[in-house]
Structure 1
Amino acid sequence: MMAATGKSKRPVGNPLALAVLSCLWERPMYPYEMTTSMRERGKEDSIRLNFGSLYAVIKSLEKHGLIAVAQTEREGNRPERVVYEITDAGRREADEWLRELIDTPVKEYPAIETGLSLIAMLPPAVAADLLADRAERLGAEIAEREQLLAGEASGVPELFMVEFHFKQAMLAAERAFVIDLAARVRERAIGGIEMWEGLHQLLDQGLSMDDIQKRVSAGDFGREVADLLRQ
């Protein structure tokens, strides 16, 4: 099993490249056909699909010998269409890449994680309100996706909806987390709440972060926070 320390260096690292290889793994296609196929299968939900980027990815895959021109087609006065096919090297690359993606956890940087890491910049009450707003939006997104699952996607075999169900599980887990966090902030049950509240009370009094940091270094911050909370 591969170590969970990071992903291997790929000749073409854009995830869209793997989607292209996947399309050509099925059969030769021209670029517009690849885009249509990805969209019809809902791959935009898990892969950033941009038609302009697609051509750059295709050229890079061709440059590295992972795909090749199979033939060119022309219908009437329409522009010539280039049909691509996957090479043996491309098949090996797709297989290794997909195995790695499924097997090996990697560090990702979701926006919410960045926000949570800096949440102390906001007053506790504001943070709690924003978390509650986020939970509401997540709930709406989950409900919308459940309607899709019960409607037009109801007849799609689970095999072809695995990433959809994964996303649903991640959304539900995130919603549960932010609801719990918002509640603990409001109930003053989160560790460090006194310092958090005290920090913003001192800021409201006109102290700068530089002043507060100096007091922290001098050991006065904890006493000042305790004095504020007794008022």
Structure 2
Amino acid sequence: MAKRRKVGNPLALAVLAELVAEPMHPYEMGRRLKEHGKDRDIKYTRSSLYMVVEQLRKAGFVAEQETVRDTQRPERTVFALTEDGRRELDDWMRELVAEPQHEYPLFGVALSLLAVLPPAEAVDLLARRLDALTAQVEEIRARVATATEQGVPWIFLIEDEYRRGVQEAEQRFVAGLIVSLKEPDYLRTWQQFFGSRT
């Protein structure tokens, strides 16, 4: 069972992980998250990043290390990971890697309610989704191939490989679902429960 975290936002986890490398200002954290492609997995804005850093500071997971004054830029506070922050990072990562959690993806919600759509429309919409998934898988393949050619170690590409694997599994699922929704038994069942909508 997942622990209740003092700061449970995935962005907080990413901030803690970035601070393992070295102390830095939130602007630098945001730049590195984007540079490392983490913005594809974690949604954030500049203001949400600053808010999470403040939450981590209040929780004792990060601490102000110094304030840098530069005549060309506004004053910037550099944050460092605390010992408690490193323990939280390690504990949280161990939990996420080892323990499957039930998540609530929006597509799962749509699937749970799919029967409200007429079968022919559901098939058309799923075919559009299948096309989009195919394009996304190809985009990921190209990104991984380019990064590999540039010498990026595989460990820094695993989230893309995971995303590709999940999307390929979804492709197979959606293709099978399209076939099932065209079956006479499903069409009869849908007619029985939802009337003559087509």
Alignment pair present for 1:161 and 2:157: yes
Amino acid at match of 2:183: E
Q: Which residue of 1 aligns with 2:12?
A: 17
User: 1:164: Cα distance to partner?
Assistant: 0.8
**Unmatched 5+ residue regions in structure 1?**
1-5, 205-231
Amino acid at match of 1:129: D
Amino acid at match of 1:61: L
The question of whether the paired residues in 1 share the 8 Å contact of 2:118 and 2:197 is answered with: no
Task: Give deviations 1:14-49, integer Å, cap 9, x for gaps.
Answer: 010011111111110011111111111111111113
What number of residue pairs does the alignment pair up? 197
Q: Which residue of 1 aligns with 2:183?
A: 187
TM-score norm. by structure 2 comes to 0.94
Amino acid at match of 1:14: N
Cα distance in 1 for residues equivalent to 2:86 and 2:152:
27
Cα distance in 2 for residues equivalent to 1:91 and 1:75:
30
User: 1:201: Cα distance to partner?
Assistant: 3.2
When structure 1 is superposed on structure 2, of 141-150 and 171-180 the one drifting more is: 141-150
The question of whether the paired residues in 2 share the 8 Å contact of 1:124 and 1:197 is answered with: no
The question of whether the paired residues in 1 share the 8 Å contact of 2:62 and 2:80 is answered with: yes
Alignment of 1:25-44 (within 5 A): 25-44=20-39
Alignment pair present for 1:112 and 2:81: no
2:84 to 86, 89, 108: 89
Cα distance in 2 for residues equivalent to 1:203 and 1:40:
49
Q: Which residue of 2 aligns with 1:197?
A: 191
Q: Which residue of 2 aligns with 1:144?
A: 139
User: 1:202: Cα distance to partner?
Assistant: 4.3
User: 1:160: Cα distance to partner?
Assistant: 0.7
User: 1:153: Cα distance to partner?
Assistant: 4.9
User: 1:161: Cα distance to partner?
Assistant: 0.8
Alignment pair present for 1:51 and 2:72: no
Cα distance in 1 for residues equivalent to 2:91 and 2:194:
51
Amino acid at match of 1:136: D
Cα distance in 2 for residues equivalent to 1:51 and 1:78:
17
User: 1:187: Cα distance to partner?
Assistant: 3.0
Cα distance in 2 for residues equivalent to 1:28 and 1:70:
8
When structure 1 is superposed on structure 2, of 127-136 and 153-162 the one drifting more is: 153-162
Q: Which residue of 1 aligns with 2:118?
A: 123
SS at match of 2:74: coil
Amino acid at match of 1:177: F
Percent identity over the alignment is: 41
SS at match of 1:151: helix
Cα distance in 2 for residues equivalent to 1:24 and 1:148:
26
Amino acid at match of 1:201: G
Amino acid at match of 1:194: R
**Unmatched 5+ residue regions in structure 2?**
none
RMSD: 1.5
User: 1:77: Cα distance to partner?
Assistant: 4.5
